[in-house]
């Protein structure tokens, strides 16, 4: 398999994966729809930082060892599930703490929240604490590395393709979310969005905890 063929084939696989609605999509849409543009891009770059680290570790063979270890994989799975459930519970809790008086002022849901660094940390943790990302890279990435090529170099190149596709799709999501921003000026709408997103994140966390 030529490197160019491998790149296009891998781009098709990860492109379909990126377009499939999931946790990353929910986080990006929710953050950008609330008008937190800097934080939304922080989340995006945090997610891609996690993707880069998974790709590098896989290319070096480290994630193969983690995935092969049932104890390590289970520990990472429970840590990821706990983080997602905690994030969902906090998001849902905050929607019920908004006072009626905040309907005419700045909502606590938005106060001091437009932080790039905060979004980056959230995106990175969400990605790195998802063991299924590591398992995906261990199972899929080696299949697209042509025989006789540098495992690390080509693996890093394939990971870069995934990151570029992720950035392009995230830009589309952020642009779409701006359409919703006018409607989300209403505190009731913001609370509804957070309750929906919090529920989605909580379901992902519970599914991760129950998965084998």
Q: For the chain, which residues make up each domain, given as ranges? A: 3-16+23-95+122-210
Q: How long, in residues, is the chain?
A: 212
Cα dihedral 115, 118, 119, 122 in deg (nearest 10)? -170
The rounded distance, in Å, linking the Cα atoms of 71 and 80 is 14
* pLDDT number for residue 167: 97
DSSP classification of residue 153: H
The rounded distance, in Å, linking the Cα atoms of 28 and 163 is 15
Please tell me whether the overall predicted TM-score, pTM, comes out greater than 0.85 for this model. no
pLDDT, tens digit only, all 212 positions of the chain: 688 888 999 999 899 888 877 888 888 988 888 778 899 999 999 999 999 999 999 998 887 777 778 787 788 788 878 888 888 888 788 778 754 434 433 343 343 457 899 999 999 998 998 888 888 888 888 888 888 888 899 999 999 999 999 999 999 999 888 777 666 667 777 778 778 878 887 887 888 788 76
The rounded distance, in Å, linking the Cα atoms of 68 and 50 is 20
Query: pLDDT, tens digit, for every residue of 48-71?
Result: 999 999 999 999 888 777 777 878
Structure token pair of residue 77:
């799975």
The rounded distance, in Å, linking the Cα atoms of 103 and 107 is 7
């Amino acid at each position: 398999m030529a490197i160019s063929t491998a790149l296009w084939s891998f781009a098709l696989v990860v492109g379909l994966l990126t377009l499939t609605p999931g946790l990353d999509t929910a986080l990006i849409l929710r953050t950008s729809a609330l008008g937190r543009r800097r934080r939304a891009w922080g989340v995006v770059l945090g997610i891609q930082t996690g993707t880069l680290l998974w790709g590098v570790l896989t290319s070096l063979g480290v994630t193969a060892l983690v995935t092969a270890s049932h104890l390590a994989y289970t520990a990472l799975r429970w840590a990821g599930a706990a983080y997602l459930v905690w994030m969902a519970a906090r998001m849902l809790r905050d929607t019920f703490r908004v006072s009626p008086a905040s309907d005419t002022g700045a909502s606590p849901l938005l106060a001091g929240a437009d932080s790039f660094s905060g979004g980056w940390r959230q995106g990175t943790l969400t990605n790195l604490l998802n063991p299924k990302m590591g398992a995906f890279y261990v199972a899929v990435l080696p299949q697209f590395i042509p025989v006789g090529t540098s495992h690390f170099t080509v693996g890093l190149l394939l990971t870069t393709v995934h990151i570029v596709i992720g950035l392009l799709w995230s830009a589309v999501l952020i642009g779409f979310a701006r359409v919703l921003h006018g409607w989300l000026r209403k505190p009731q709408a913001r609370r509804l969005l957070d309750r929906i997103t919090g529920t989605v994140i909580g379901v992902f966390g519970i599914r991760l905890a129950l998965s084998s």
